[in-house]
Amino acid sequence: MAETILTTEYSTEMQKSFINYSMSVITARAVPDIRDGLKPVQRRVLYAMNELGLNSDKPHRKSARIVGDAMGKYHPHGDSSIYEALVVLSQDFKKGMALVDGHGNFGSIEGDGAAAMRYTEARLKKFTQEVYLADLDKNVVDFVPNFDETEKEPEVLPVRVPNFLINGSDGIAVGMTTSTPPHNLVEIIDAMELLMDKPEVTTAELLEVVQGPDFPTGGVVTNKDDLLEIYETGRGKIKIRGKAEVVPGKRKTDKDCIVISEIPYTMIGANIGKFLSDVVSLAESKKLPDIIDVSNQSSKEGIKIVIELRKGADGEQTLQGILKKTKLEDTFGVNMLAIVDGRPEVLGLKAILEHNLNFQIEVNTRKYTTLLEKERSRKEIQEGLIRAVDVIDLIIEIIRGSKTLKMAKTCLVEGVTEGIQFKTEKSRKQASQLKFTENQATAILELRLSKLIGLEILALQDDYKKTLEKIALYEKILGSRKAMLKAIRKDLDSIKKNYGIPRRTEIANLKEAVFVEAPAQVLDVTFLMNRFGYAKVVEQSVFEKNEAQLREENTVFINCRSDEKLCIFTREGNMHQLKLADVPMGRPKDKGVPIDNICKYDSAKENILQIFCWEQIRTKCFVFATAMGAVKQVAALEFDTVKRTIAATKLADGDEVIAIEPADKPYIVMTTDEKHALRFRVSEIPSQRKNAVGVRAFKLTEGERMNGVWLLDEKEKQFSEVTKKKTDLNGLPLKKRDGKPELLA
């Protein structure tokens, strides 16, 4: 066969492929179907468990077996994602109604991961069996081929409640996300019934029944007035707050505590650990100085985080500070996106309930149609058996007189008597008039003689009456929308009665937490840093008492105030700003923290040249000198910025800064590694911007580099040992900048 090469535009092909990929992720992976509120992986896990017979009254089965069946038969996307879906379905702190009964370590609310699938076991909850998987054998939903067309799987599960709202959803697709909070089962069912009674019901009326989200972690929704707009549009922000109270000490000498008993839904997982860490940081940084201890005393009984306060502390003010500065008060972003008729769509509360009601009507129509066909078939057989009982002697005569089963059946159905031996012609004539249906004839020929006992015949007649009643009921349901809705309501009432739970989340209008930070105490401090780059701040009085020890252990000493900032200049031409408030206050024996951790300076790539206190230099000018002989004067105000890191100067390739000195002396001496030196006036160095390279101090020979810079007063002596003989640099001849340098003897 000849090869065919198709030519296409690259951008067109990429666009087409990306759109196909995007829609696949949206519709077949990340976003739930509005009908059952499940993503494909969740649906397939539940169906695989149902096929394995893992009912609530059966023993648990290894999770690895469940994952293997789901992956091998229905969901070929990797075992880790399938197991993760199974784990989440079992976690009652994530789902409004958990659907899987997990046995073993299935993770915790504090973010601990589940054990490996080979260790854990699972089975379906009774709620899942009766509400999510019931009636699959009654042709209530379409079955489609699996990925390799070796199995059939349901396109959607016949879920009898709006699971999209009850268990919520979250997912990230391509270009869109879905985020729906969980709701209370009882309230959602009541809203469904209200919609049945009043199709023109408004969202405001529905919210009289559905108070709002019902998070499994409890807490308080604080913006009740915003819920109407959120539920009308399907988008918005829900503000949630944990439940906390200030518990006074039992005795006067005891300290007060803040006890947190419920957390925001957004805090579950690793965010609990982060919350504890944030509270500790607030205490250490003195932003909440009344906190002296934090402990997580949570257990299987529930959340309990205890924050111990200083004696005499203002507990309410501290609690307001915690709400303001931590995730104890947080925002849940709502975007109720679901797949509707194969397309992603953002829906409001009423639209979600309407879609679910239409789905329930469709499922129940198919269910009662199947049941009606089954009862009609049963009625046909029962009528045939009742009629057969009345002529049982004739039927026995036909059976005994027939040579084959087919001959007897043909006689019962069509009245053909040829070849059958009868006792009398009267019997032959009666046999020719029987005319049973095919199904009736089969049932008669399979009838056991024990069924001819009197009580059995009465039971058959009773069953026939019940069958007629069922047929009438099913026809009534299928023939009337009112009767259909009544049947759906009956199912919903049963679910509400058997599985309804009280609301856990309080809905209210609460004012935003108000916390006014007390102004930080301004202290006279000394910034210290040792040769290994560990920095700390001590009070100046402490430094003066331990000066000898601290000068021996450290290489940098800067006196300043605790509300000031430092400017750190590096040889690589950068300036990093460091707020002294970010440097931990320490004791003389404390090691301090690496300076890399508290500012953007990177010790692996840069070398510190000078550190100044900003308040002490802001009015000054500085002389910048580089190894390749460039000099300039720069006003300190050039470095007045809010950025934590800026370029302090522009450098040529291979150059570095070797000196940054205040321009407060009249003379400058510069020396090189080739023993050249030049002394000239500082006033000859031009003032330039920080992004300038500078001007030449004097011409260097090839490979020669500057290695020393001194700014000197008129009579100040500065000796250099560049040669064997000490040279007074201030005694060198005074020349012009860029003049001929002296060769040191």
Q: Express each pLDDT in 528-544 by its tens digit.
A: 999 999 999 999 999 99
Q: Give the span between the Cα atoms of 709 and 716, in whole angstroms.
A: 14
Location of each CATH 1.10.268.10 domain in the chain: 359-499
pLDDT at 69: 95
CA distances from 411 to 154, 306, 395 (A): 44, 87, 10
Tokens read off for 672: 């090189």
Q: Name the least confident of 219-233, 431-445, 648-662.
A: 431-445
Is pLDDT at 460 greater than 90 in this prediction? Answer: no
Residue 745, pLDDT score: 66
Task: Return the structure tokens found at 310.
Answer: 């200083």
Task: Please give the average per-residue pLDDT across 649-653, as a whole number.
Answer: 92
Per DSSP, helices labelled H in 102-157 are 126-131
- Mean pLDDT score of the chain: 89
Strand order in the sheet with 169-172: 169-172, 177-180, 329-335, 235-241, 220-221, 506-507
Which pLDDT band holds residue 98 (cuts at 50, 70, 90)? very high
Distance CA 209, CA 229 (A): 16
Question: Does 224 or 251 have the greater pLDDT score?
Answer: 224
Rounded Cα distance between 322 and 331, Å, is 15
Confidence of residue 519 (pLDDT cuts 50, 70, 90): low
List every span in the chain annotated with CATH 2.120.10.90.
Answer: 524-743
Contacts (Cβ under 8 Å, ≥6 apart) of 255:
249, 292, 308, 309, 310, 311, 313
- Summarize the confidence of residues 531-558 as an average pLDDT: 91
- Residue 713 CA to residue 736 CA, distance in Å, equals 17
Of the pLDDT bands very low, low, confident and very high (cuts 50, 70, 90), residue 260 is very high
Residue 722 has pLDDT above 90, yes or no: no
Nearby residues of 402 by Cβ (< 8 Å), 6 or more positions away:
408, 411, 419, 420
| Residue 165, helix vs strand vs coil | helix
Pairing of strands 220-221, 506-507: parallel
Tell which CATH architecture fits domain 38-158.
Answer: Alpha-Beta Complex (3.90)
Q: Residue 201, SS3? A: coil
Q: Is the pLDDT of residue 253 over 70?
A: no
pLDDT at residue number 160: 95
Two tokens, residue 305: 């985080």
For residue 8, count other CB atoms closer than 10 A to its CB.
8
- Pick the residue with more confidence: 121 or 583? 121
Return d(Cα 408, Cα 396) in angstroms, integer. 10
DSSP annotation of 391 reads T
Q: What is the fold of 524-743?
A: Neuraminidase (2.120.10)
Instruction: Please determine, for residue 97, whether its predicted confidence score (pLDDT) is greater than 90.
Output: yes
> If pLDDT is split at 50, 70 and 90, which confidence band does 441 have?
confident
Q: Which pLDDT value is given to residue 416?
A: 84
pLDDT at res. 27: 59
Q: Give the pLDDT score at 674.
A: 87
β-strand pairing of 574-579 with 645-647: antiparallel
Numbered ranges of CATH 3.90.199.10 in the chain: 38-158
Residue 233 is predicted with a pLDDT of 95
How much is the pLDDT for 423?
Answer: 81
**pLDDT given for residue 716 in this prediction:** 82
Beta strand ranges found along 32-120 (DSSP E): 61-62, 100-103
Using CA atoms in the order 25, 28, 32, 35, what is the torsion angle rounded to 10 degrees? Answer: 150
Contacts of 547 (CB under 8 A, 6+ apart): none
Q: Residue 12 — pLDDT band, cuts 50, 70, 90?
A: confident
Active site residue 74: no
Distance, in Å, from the CA atom of 440 to the CA atom of 329, rounded to the nearest integer, reads: 71
Asked if 96 and 175 touch (Cβ cutoff 8 Å), the reply is no
pLDDT at residue 1 tops 60? no
Select which of 83, 119, 368, 499 is catalytic: 119
| Residues linked to residue 676 through DSSP beta bridges, in sequence order | 743
What number is the average pLDDT over the span 390-400?
84
pLDDT of residue 258: 92
Distance CA 634, CA 688 (A): 6
Residue among 207, 164, 214, 147 at smallest CA distance from 38:
164
Average pLDDT over residues 333-355: 93
pLDDT band at 20 (very low <50, low <70, confident <90, very high): low
- Tell me what pLDDT residue 667 has: 93
Task: List the single range of 418-427, 546-555, 721-730, 733-742 with lowest mean pLDDT.
Answer: 721-730
pLDDT value at residue 399: 85
Predicted local confidence at residue 573, as pLDDT: 93
Query: 168 with 178: CB under 8 angstroms?
Result: no
* CATH 3.30.1360.40 domain span(s) along the chain: 243-327
**Mean pLDDT score, 512-539:** 83
CATH fold of the domain at 243-327? Gyrase A; domain 2 (3.30.1360)
Rounded-to-integer distance, Cα 441 and Cα 456, Å: 19
For residue 495, the model assigns a pLDDT of 96
| Per-residue pLDDT at 249 | 77
User: Which of 192-196, 274-278, 432-436, 520-524 reaches the highest mean pLDDT?
Assistant: 192-196
Give yes or no for residue 200 having a pLDDT over 90.
yes
- CATH topology assigned to domain 359-499: Topoisomerase; domain 3 (1.10.268)
Return the residue matching tokens 């004539």. 429
Cα(680)–Cα(58) distance, integer angstroms = 96
Q: Which residues contact 401 (CB under 8 A, 6 or more apart)?
A: 420, 421, 422
Q: Please, are residues 580 and 531 in contact by the beta-carbon 8 Å criterion?
A: no
The phi and psi torsions of 334 (rounded to 5 degrees) equal -100, 130
CA nearest 501: which of 100, 215, 108, 231?
215
pLDDT at 321 over 70: yes
Bigger pLDDT: 600 vs 30: 600
Tokens of 248: 């006074």
Contact call for residues 236 and 221 (beta carbons, < 8 A)? no
Helices first, then strands: H and E counts in the chain: 21, 35
Structure-token match 């909440």, residue found: 288
pLDDT in tens, 131-188: 999 999 999 999 999 989 999 999 999 999 999 999 998 888 767 889 999 999 999 9
Q: Does residue 2 have a pLDDT over 90?
A: no
Q: Please report the pLDDT score of residue 30 as a whole number.
A: 79
Picking from 609, 711, 696, 718, the residue whose alpha carbon sits closest to that of residue 662 is 711
Q: Judge contact between 440 and 384, C-beta under 8 A.
A: yes
Residue 580 CB burial class (10 angstroms; 0-12, 13-18, ≥19): buried
Specify the amino acid at residue 318: T
